[in-house]
């Protein structure tokens, strides 16, 4: 089962699984939630959080009171990691079981998005999760903008790694069944908390990511 | 949008979102892929990888050649983090958009599962991902067991944090639509690479996790 074990492991293990910048973009554009890792007092620290990509930057945001984000805002090194699980690969031997996946890690230090850019960055954030949604909402208030910390991590030439596995299981030696169980993140029918019509941005994202 | 921003953030931010040990178990039992963070030369290091829970321990495995796992095997502190994205919460104001989620982090140092226990641990691993699958496969070979590093991280009394958000969006001030888009990880119809019948373990997991 080494192949399962190697899933999303460090690039040195499976150089043929290295990806390119398009893969980085695809992973962050689809993941919704990513994981921000940093180091506090020599210990690993990790926060799953919503992350969006905007061109050559990742945007992370949180309350101005969130400790780990403040640590990152103060210049602590971060590694932002995301993955998409695409399938469970079922082989003849347990050892050859694996996963189909796409993953990316971007490293560096974050820049704090300053007050003058923050409102626009928050729109970009919402728009990446629910395209068109910012125009359906009232404008941000000054207190909302003031209460929100927005961090930006550049995706540069050499600060990322992307990996993937796709395709079938290893060939069986015997007459065993092998195959792949596709896995996907699915949005289902919205649960309305009001009698109003579902907004266009919500209908569109469900149509795009729901099962056919 | 602070509420989105706080999603899966540190527990100090939203103490009412703290969870109990059952939540830790549920998150790791459903997540399939978790994220292992450690510190190498003072820098954050992160690997998304398959992780399973077996009672009071998490099992992680990889090739004996995988650098970051060897680092963890040598006693580096780790934080193993997992999340389940349950929904996108759509509010009147962008600020009140959020996510429904369950998350858990377990911290500590790993124990290397020694050779005598390793074959059984690999069965536990496969069985957690695809219940019943080990009995459908030939036994592990000595070389397969020798090539695989298995790490165990205990879930103890005080080395974890679990968090969740569920429920509807914030009440709107105006007459806006609010609601939740449910999100789930879905297994779909297996893609067979052979003419043999799909094994029972595969049919069962698809029936359990596929959409109705």
Cβ contacts of A126 on chain B, cutoff 8 Å: 1, 94, 97
Query: CB-CB: which of B45, B63, B67 is closest to A2?
Result: B63
pLDDT in tens, A49-66: 999 999 999 999 988 877
pLDDT of residue B18: 60
B209: helix, strand or coil = helix
B185, A165 Cβ separation under 8 angstroms: no
pLDDT of residue A5: 35
Question: Is residue A133 predicted with pLDDT exceeding 90?
Answer: yes
What average pLDDT does the segment B26-36 reach? 96
Q: Which residues contact A23 (CB under 8 A, 6 or more apart)?
A: A102, A104, A162, A163, A164
Number of neighbours of residue B143 by Cβ within 10 angstroms: 9
- Which residue of chain A has the CA closest to B142? A95
What average pLDDT does the segment A111-129 reach? 96
Which CATH homologous superfamily contains domain A2-209?
Answer: Electron Transport, Fmn-binding Protein; Chain A (2.30.110.10)
List the one residue out of B180, B202, B35 whose CA is nearest residue A178: B202
Cα distance from A163 to chain B (closest Cα, Å)? 11
- The per-type count for chain B, helices as H runs and strands as E runs, is 6, 10
pLDDT of residue A9: 40
pLDDT in tens, B121-174: 999 999 999 999 999 999 999 999 999 999 999 999 999 999 999 999 999 998
Sign of CA dihedral B13, B15, B19, B21: positive
- Per-residue tokens: A178: 């092998």
- Report domain extents, chain A: 2-209
Read off the pLDDT band of A18 (50, 70, 90). Answer: low
pLDDT of residue A7: 39
Read off the pLDDT band of B195 (50, 70, 90). Answer: confident
List the one residue out of B74, B65, B49, B54 whose CA is nearest residue B146: B65
- Which residue of chain A has the CA closest to B132? A94
pLDDT in tens, B65-90: 777 889 999 999 999 999 999 999 99
Percent of chain A at pLDDT > 90 equals 80
Are A88 and B12 within 8 A, CB to CB? no
Read off the pLDDT band of B5 (50, 70, 90). Answer: very low
Question: How far apart (Å, rounded) are the C-alpha atoms in residues A113 and A95?
Answer: 46
Those of residues 147-206 in A touching chain B at CB distance below 8 A are 147-149, 168-169, 172, 174-194, 196-199, 202, 205-206
Are A68 and B10 within 8 A, CB to CB? yes
pLDDT of residue A12: 44
pLDDT of residue B62: 87
Q: B135 touching A, CB under 8 A? A: no
Output phi, psi for B124, to 5 deg: -60, -40
Are B184 and A179 within 8 A, CB to CB? no
Query: CB-CB: which of B8, B37, B172 is closest to A194?
Result: B172
Cα distance from A127 to chain B (closest Cα, Å)? 10
Those of residues 63-102 in A touching chain B at CB distance below 8 A are 63, 65-69, 77-79, 81-83, 85, 87-88, 90, 92-95, 97, 99, 101
- Which residue of chain B has the CA closest to A118? B1
> Which candidate in B52, B159, B181, B203 is best for mutational testing of the A interface (most A CBs within 10 A)?
B181
CA distances from A162 to A24, A105, A189, B47 (A): 6, 7, 32, 11
Cβ contacts of B49 on chain A, cutoff 8 Å: 5, 7-9
Residues forming beta bridges with residue B35, ordered by sequence position: B48, B81
B189, A182 Cβ separation under 8 angstroms: yes
Query: CB-CB: which of A9, A92, A202 is closest to B66?
Result: A9
Cβ contacts of B68 on chain A, cutoff 8 Å: 9-10
pLDDT of residue A16: 54
CA distances from A11 to A103, A161, A180, B65 (A): 11, 8, 23, 11
Question: Is residue B210 predicted with pLDDT exceeding 80?
Answer: no
Question: Is residue B187 predicted with pLDDT exceeding 50?
Answer: yes
A138: helix, strand or coil = coil
pLDDT of residue A31: 95
Query: CB-CB: which of B13, B97, B178 is closest to A65?
Result: B13
Are B196 and A181 within 8 A, CB to CB? no
């Amino acid at each position: 089962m080494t192949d399962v074990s190697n899933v999303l492991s460090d690039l040195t293990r499976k150089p043929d699984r290295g990806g390119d910048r398009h893969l980085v973009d695809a992973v962050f554009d689809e993941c919704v939630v990513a994981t921000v890792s940093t180091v506090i007092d020599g210990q690993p620290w990790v926060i799953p959080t919503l992350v969006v990509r905007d061109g050559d930057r990742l945007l992370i945001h949180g309350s101005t009171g969130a400790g780990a984000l403040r640590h990152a805002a103060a210049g602590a090194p971060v590694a932002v990691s995301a993955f998409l699980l695409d399938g469970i690969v079922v082989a003849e031997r347990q050892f050859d079981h694996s996963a189909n996946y796409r993953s990316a890690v971007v490293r560096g230090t974050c820049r704090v998005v300053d007050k003058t850019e923050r409102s626009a960055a928050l729109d970009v954030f919402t728009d990446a999760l629910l395209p068109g949604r910012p125009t359906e909402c009232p404008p941000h208030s000054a207190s909302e903008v003031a209460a929100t910390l927005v961090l930006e991590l550049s995706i540069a030439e050499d600060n990322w790694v992307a990996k993937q596995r796709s395709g079938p299981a290893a060939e069986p030696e015997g007459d065993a069944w092998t195959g792949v169980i596709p896995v996907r993140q699915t949005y289902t029918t919205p649960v309305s908390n009001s009698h109003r019509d579902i907004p266009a941005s919500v209908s569109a994202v469900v149509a795009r990511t729901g099962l056919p």
